[in-house]
Structure 1
């Protein structure tokens, strides 16, 4: 399917690429190389800093530390889930799967769906899946609903498929839930994501029980955690992206408040 990026999504993608590793570290390294021709010490300092950052951001120790700063919520019990009206699962991406001849959930989304199905079976609560198509093509919500029904035998009651952002997830999901009289939810996503997502759903008037999954953990200990890996770089990228997202929404709220005060 052809992807059609909206201008807002494109801006988010570009800003994320420049602000996050590995591109921000590469740009710092290039700046150091350029500066070294004129100011040898300053250029060398930037080169050293960029290499140290590149190593640190690729270690399991850094991945766990950054993710741990976001993983605020504890594991939930089936009894807690039963006290809510529905289980809401947030989309975390999809990908083409040639072996299936269709789209399938990304690794993050699949982790969320598996845990949501686990909670649904033990609590009896209905499921809502939420995810649009910010990069074009088939909406994530449709892919998620198909996976829950075919692979886990728990089809969702609601499918939200118009969202491009977490804020959209909250707004559009709340509309579907309110129409059926649901006022309290169990919200399933990665632990590092829920610290930003929960307040957005609460702002829609919902009572939210965070149900984190996908905690960033590694086997072993000690020196093993300081060996760089691609997986660790991916997880540090996700955590830093979440911090950037939190700063972006915090800044937007401040600007909205300032604008409202100036108009009054």
Structure 2
């Protein structure tokens, strides 16, 4: 039986931009011969959406719609009892590292989590298993924090394969330590859903988002399509899709 998480990864790739919109464009072009007006309309609309999502302007508007969390208040953070850093993917078989290493999103979270840990003195839990094989995110995060940032990791949650499991398994580990509130480190676009999952798991959090957009759009290139804008839009679309799936599961 196929692994459900592998199927989800494949579905995510097919549905989200750019692949999803490119497939719609191909469908439109395929229909042009039999239904010229309909086929052209489908292809043109999908192309316009793809170009729009590729602009920093559009990705910023989407990010702002998804989350407006302010930067962490260190004074508030000191009321928590631990820091939880969520994994965000790994690079498999990174040749320059001689094996698996942290992906960009995870590295950004680890770096910011290390900063928060140094400023608060709170103990750290890293959370993330392995979705498609290879090293677990938690193991790689621990190694980076301890060997590169000088931050001791007290707990590793290395069984989870999605945000819901991140929250449930982390809450179970911390409950044994009588920890009732944590600082949660993840990206701004991921914070609303992650925060909701941790609250559902019975663990209140103080949000510590990284990757917060400052809203500065002052260059002509901010209104032109580019890979940076498309990547940011991809993350937002992923979160919106995940929130939709989460809501549907609540009604089952």
Pick the TM interval, shorter chain: over 0.9
Once residues 62 and 214 of structure 2 are traced to their aligned partners in structure 1, the CA distance between those partners, rounded to angstroms, is 12
Instruction: Report what 2:38 is aligned to.
Output: 42
Compute the displacement of 1:54 (Å).
Answer: 1.7
Once residues 140 and 216 of structure 1 are traced to their aligned partners in structure 2, the CA distance between those partners, rounded to angstroms, is 25
Contact 1:81 1:125 (8 Å CA) reproduced: no
Instruction: Report what 2:59 is aligned to.
Output: 63
Out of 80, 103, 106, the residue aligned to residue 106 of structure 1 is 103
CA shift digits 1:188-235 (9 cap, x unpaired): 000110100101111121121111111245765253211111121111
Out of 47, 54, 63, the residue aligned to residue 51 of structure 1 is 47
Match of 2:67, SS state, is: coil
Match of 1:99, SS state, is: helix
Instruction: Report what 1:178 is aligned to.
Output: 175
TM-score by length of 2: 0.95
Out of 218, 222, 240, the residue aligned to residue 221 of structure 1 is 218
Match of 1:69, SS state, is: helix
Instruction: Report what 1:189 is aligned to.
Output: 186
Compute the displacement of 1:22 (Å).
Answer: 1.1
Out of 156, 161, 168, the residue aligned to residue 159 of structure 1 is 156
Structure 1 residues 207, 243: closer, same or farther in 2, change over 3 A?
A: same
Structure 1 residues 99, 222: closer, same or farther in 2, change over 3 A?
A: closer
Instruction: Report what 2:200 is aligned to.
Output: 203
Match of 1:189, SS state, is: strand
Compute the displacement of 1:23 (Å).
Answer: 1.3
**What count of residue pairs does the alignment treat as equivalent?**
251
Out of 130, 135, 139, the residue aligned to residue 133 of structure 1 is 130
Structure 1 unaligned runs (5+)? Answer: 256-264
Contact 2:6 2:131 (8 Å CA) reproduced: no
Structure 1 residues 133, 215: closer, same or farther in 2, change over 3 A?
A: same
Superposition misfits of 4+ residues, deviation over 3 angstroms:
216-220
Contact 1:186 1:208 (8 Å CA) reproduced: yes
Instruction: Report what 1:259 is aligned to.
Output: none
Once residues 162 and 217 of structure 2 are traced to their aligned partners in structure 1, the CA distance between those partners, rounded to angstroms, is 36
Structure 2 unaligned runs (5+)? Answer: none
Instruction: Report what 1:262 is aligned to.
Output: none
Instruction: Report what 1:22 is aligned to.
Output: 18
TM-score by length of 1: 0.91
Contact 1:146 1:155 (8 Å CA) reproduced: no
Contact 1:17 1:23 (8 Å CA) reproduced: yes
Contact 2:57 2:217 (8 Å CA) reproduced: no
Compute the displacement of 1:102 (Å).
Answer: 2.5
Contact 2:100 2:134 (8 Å CA) reproduced: no
1:79 is aligned to 2:75? yes
